[in-house]
Chains A and B, each alone.
Chain A
Amino acid sequence: MVPPTLWRCLRTPYITHPLKLRPCTHNFTTTLSLSAKPLKPKGPPPSSKMNPGKQRTQSSKLRIKKAPIAVQKPAYEVGQRKELRRRIVLSNTNAIPVALPPMTADLVGNEEAAGAMFALPGGEGDMIVDRLRALGAFQTKQHWPFFHRPCTLFRRETVEIGRMLERVMKREVVGEDGKANERAILHGYYGCGRSILLLQAMTWALQMEWVVIAIPNAHDLVVGHTEYELEGNSHLWLQKAYTTDLLNRVLKANQSAFKQMKLSQNYRLGRMDEAQKGDAMKRVLETAVLDPLLAWDAFNVLLGELGLPGSPPVLFTLDNLNQISIPSKYRDPAFNAIHPHDLALPNTFLAYLSGKRSFRTGITLAATSSKCSRTLALDAALEGRGVDPYEKLDPRIGPSIEGAQIIQVDSLSKREAKALMDYYSESGIMKAPVDIATFSEKYAVSAGNPRDLFGTCLRVRQ
């Protein structure tokens, strides 16, 4: 085929007039635009000869009605998933109810009760479970939804904690300043039941009308999700929003105790507010809960009042101690990671744990966690090792827990494991009969670890 350019060469050259509009040509076509077909004149289409009305009716018959595109509803509302994730279900009506005695305050320090299951007191009008829930004592993944009502195992370590409560109550451990205090850290392998021991301590303390202050997860304090500000005097970083939240929970759990507490002196709350001498602690906290600016001062008022004679006994707990032994996610203006001990709340707790501050009557209880990155300094401190100068360990960690009793939470004894397995069996979640063979197998495989024991009891062997 002959290319058309050849023919173009033979033609007379196309001279363009400078003032004349150039014909619109496309760069990529070889066909002259003038030789192309003229555009069709605008007008009615040839089918317009037909009856327009008829045509319309015909086409309307054929037209398929499209469904309107519905705006897809999100599967979850904002925050709904988080709420579901954190929801704590404490009962299951499908589970078989097991008749168990309640874990009352008269069991405190009772050695003979060790190795038996007890139900948390939650009868008519008894608000213990609700108060525990308010304190955040229950956690997800503690298998509460599998059972008819929350029950716990009375362990050797429970006896130890009970004895501690007893000692403080009877004021057997009074210091020189007339204050009776106990400080302890629960430490053990993963899933050994440290958080449950905290729960048991809280259960007893609430029943004995103690004031219970609980930081359910120290991770919330250091993870960098709450606002923080530097307080000039103490050079500590306040977390006012978190403190408000904490006060709110403490207030919910300790209504009756706070009702009876009267302020011993006037206090300044924030810049403007004042709390008068003789006011009920409950009223002070209720005002503080509404205003985050007052929260930290109110919290200090509470702690200060609890150190005075005549104040009720206190249980101050913190779970996941490891989290405040590693650098926090907060940053100072120079963008250095803030040491968790420079945050006001952890600092306050550690002051009580190390004995720098103390309640009039009280127990400070911390529990370590296994879901944390390595905390070599804390491990060394828990083992009582001195920090090796060649190891680059945080030198502030060791003194922060100094003097605290370390309660080693061990694996379950055979008796305790048997009680637990019987409870699982009676609740209907463990199908195999609890005979010697099954028991020894599951006890050996779980190595007496309560979390693994639950897993092995539920698991069907492949």
Chain B
Amino acid sequence: MMQIREFLCIYRIVASGTIIFSGLARRGCICLLASHVPSPRPLNFKSLTVWTKHPNIGRQTSTPYLPSLTMATAGTFMQRCRRALTEIPRLTPQLTCQLPRKPFHHHHCPRFLTTAPASTALTGFSQPLPDVAPRTRLTPLSPSYYTGSPDYYDNLLALQDLLRSHQALPTIHGDEAPEVRWKTMDEYRLMIGDRVKPSRYNKVIRILDRLNRIDPAIMPAETKAALSLYMRPENPELKERAARTVDGFGRAYAIGRRKTAVARVFLVEGEGQTLVNGLPIIKKFSRVHDRESVLWPLIVTNRVDKYNVFAVVKGGGKTGQAEACTLAIARALRIHEPALKHALREAGCVTVDHRQVERKKPGHVKARKMPAWVKR
């Protein structure tokens, strides 16, 4: 048994009993080599299954490979997955003889989460051949065969199945979910063995995020194992970001930026006084709206009279300065009370607004505006 990287997928079974392979295989698929098979048999079992009248071939190939495949799989989740796959009636010869009318409706069946080991479990030759086979023809084993990227879709569908089965489990908010770093798109492509569009990758990530939000206390081991397949390995050499804490004077310090303004805020427990650049807030921000912007994180969390704010804000205009203060106060507040992150996010105080004024271009009147067209 070996993994074939470059070539060989499609094979043909001739009536005489010899297997002739023809065409190219996908990268990363598993190929079986058996000495007693007349020719080397690189098989992409996910793509095709074999239907034949000839009894000998099936019997020759089915039995010897299954144990070795069991050894090849890793993890309990995969074992369970494979067992299910081997146990499901779809793989029994009786059901493989189904009429080709509804070939792809297999939602009740679990699917593979990875391509390589699971695909080996599905050797078409592992099936005892049906006694009564109506005709000899090739049927795709994967329901996603005709999608163009069956590897990806099988993977996606398997994840969706997993999600569907855990739909009812209680979840926690994304802000409280354990922090994970999923595999990057390139890593995921390697895993799938096929080109994956960013939008499709995002779909997978969305499902993984959702699965990750299942309450860790009751997260099923199966899900955990599945998620671990998609996680990036931790790099211990990378320094972890130092957690910000309140300093010796009880001050939480944070920076916020908006437009071209930068606000530095010291937040201490107090009785609701606010100083901006050493001035009372009414002197600095004469608009009520700006004052409300500045104090917004404290207002939404009902902490206005619990903290004193000392802000130093530079650059930009009034609105930018006020909203830079918003962000800085929200960050400083999270140092005091990390549990407020969710409430602050709901209030829009966590996400950074990175928009800036677009520069003016030569030949343009403004950033985009062009001078009026003149005939002569």
Contacts and interface: CB of A to CB of B under 8 A. Distances in A.
A449 B288 CA distance: 10
B281 A447 contact: yes
Interface in B289-313: 291-292, 295, 298-299, 302, 304-305
Contacts of A443: 272, 304
Nearest to B280: A447
Nearest to A411: B282
Contacts of B288: 445-446, 452, 455-456
B305 A189 contact: no
Contacts of B299: 441, 444-445
A190 B298 contact: no
Contacts of A411: 280, 282
B304 A440 contact: yes
A411 B279 CA distance: 13
Nearest to B292: A445
B325 to A, nearest CB: 13
B286 interface: yes
B305 A440 contact: yes
Contacts of A444: 272, 274, 291, 295, 298-299, 304-305
Interface in B235-282: 272, 274, 280-282
Contact of B304 (A189, A441, A452): A441
B107 to A, nearest CB: 46
Interface string A424-462: 000000000000110011011111110010011000000
B101 interface: no
Contacts of B274: 444, 447
Decide if the interface of chain A is mainly helix, strand, loop or mixed: helix
Contacts of A190: 286
A437 B283 contact: no
B292 to A, nearest CB: 5
Contacts of B298: 444
Nearest to A410: B280
A441 B302 CA distance: 8
A453 to B, nearest CB: 10
Contact of A445 (B280, B295, B305): B295
Contact of A189 (B272, B283, B295, B302): B283
A189 B305 CA distance: 23
Contact of A449 (B272, B282, B302): B282
B227 to A, nearest CB: 40
A443 B274 CA distance: 12
Nearest to B302: A437
Nearest to B289: A445
A189 B282 contact: yes
Contacts of B280: 411, 447
Contact of B282 (A436, A437, A440, A447): A447
A444 B305 CA distance: 8
B347 to A, nearest CB: 12
Most chain B C-beta atoms within 10 Å of own C-beta, residue among A444, A448, A449: A444
B333 to A, nearest CB: 14
Nearest to B283: A189
Most chain B C-beta atoms within 10 Å of own C-beta, residue among A411, A441, A452: A441
A455 B288 CA distance: 9
Interface in A393-446: 411, 436-437, 440-441, 443-446
B291 A447 contact: yes
Contacts of A445: 288, 291-292, 295, 299
Contact of B272 (A437, A440, A446, A455): A440
Interface in A19-77: none
B230 to A, nearest CB: 41
Interface string A283-322: 0000000000000000000000000000000000000000
Contacts of A437: 302
A272 to B, nearest CB: 55
A238 B83 CA distance: 108
B280 to A, nearest CB: 7
A456 B283 CA distance: 17
Nearest to B299: A441
A10 to B, nearest CB: 46
B336 to A, nearest CB: 17
A229 B1 CA distance: 115
Interface in A347-377: none
A433 to B, nearest CB: 15
Contacts of B283: 189
A440 B281 CA distance: 15
Contacts of A456: 288
Contacts of B292: 445
A349 B255 CA distance: 51
Contacts of A441: 299, 302, 304
A449 B304 CA distance: 16
25 contacts: A189-B282, A189-B283, A190-B286, A411-B280, A440-B272, A440-B302, A440-B304, A443-B272, A443-B304, A444-B295, A444-B298, A444-B299, A444-B304, A444-B305, A445-B295, A445-B299, A446-B288, A446-B291, A447-B274, A447-B280, A447-B281, A447-B291, A449-B282, A452-B291, A456-B288
Given A441-B299, A444-B298, A456-B288, 17 more contacts: A189-B286, A411-B280, A411-B282, A440-B272, A440-B305, A444-B272, A444-B274, A444-B304, A444-B305, A445-B291, A445-B292, A446-B291, A447-B274, A447-B280, A448-B282, A449-B282, A452-B291
Q: What are the 6 tightest A-B residue pairs by CB atom distance, in nearest-first order?
A: A447-B282, A440-B305, A444-B304, A440-B304, A445-B292, A441-B299
